[in-house]
Amino acid sequence: MALPALQPIHQKRIWERFNGRDSAGKIAEVIDQLKKEDYRFHMEGGSWTTHIPWFRGCENVLGPMGKVSSLFHEKMLKKKIATSDSRYRKALFALLCSQVSDHRYWRNGIWTD
């Protein structure tokens, strides 16, 4: 399954400075540095409620999403599964489907539990 290349505006600038093997703290540093260099750079928005950042009030959902994403990455690195491998792509697809932005609309309850 071939997924189209897609990334938010300015995201490329993060990956140009961030090595995939860097720590999570490093990516936060890169983002802070980009914000200081360019006032237009931000990680907010992307919601139909453009006046409310998509992540505000959703920490109870986003924290676990971040953890499972990290675990996914660690397990795939340990097993040395290539990103082109169909097992990797199917697992990534399932992970991404589980992390859709529906949490923004549903908030707490069955979905987030």
pLDDT digits (tens, 9 = 90+) for 54-109: 566 666 777 788 888 889 988 888 888 898 999 999 999 988 887 776 655 555 56
pTM of the model: 0.48
pLDDT digits (tens, 9 = 90+) for 50-69: 555 656 666 677 778 888 88
Angle between helices 86-98 and 59-79 (to 10 degrees): 170
In this structure, the dihedral spanned by the alpha carbons of residues 48, 28, 84 and 4, taken in order and rounded to 10 degrees, is 30
Mean pLDDT, to the nearest integer, of 25-44?
A: 86
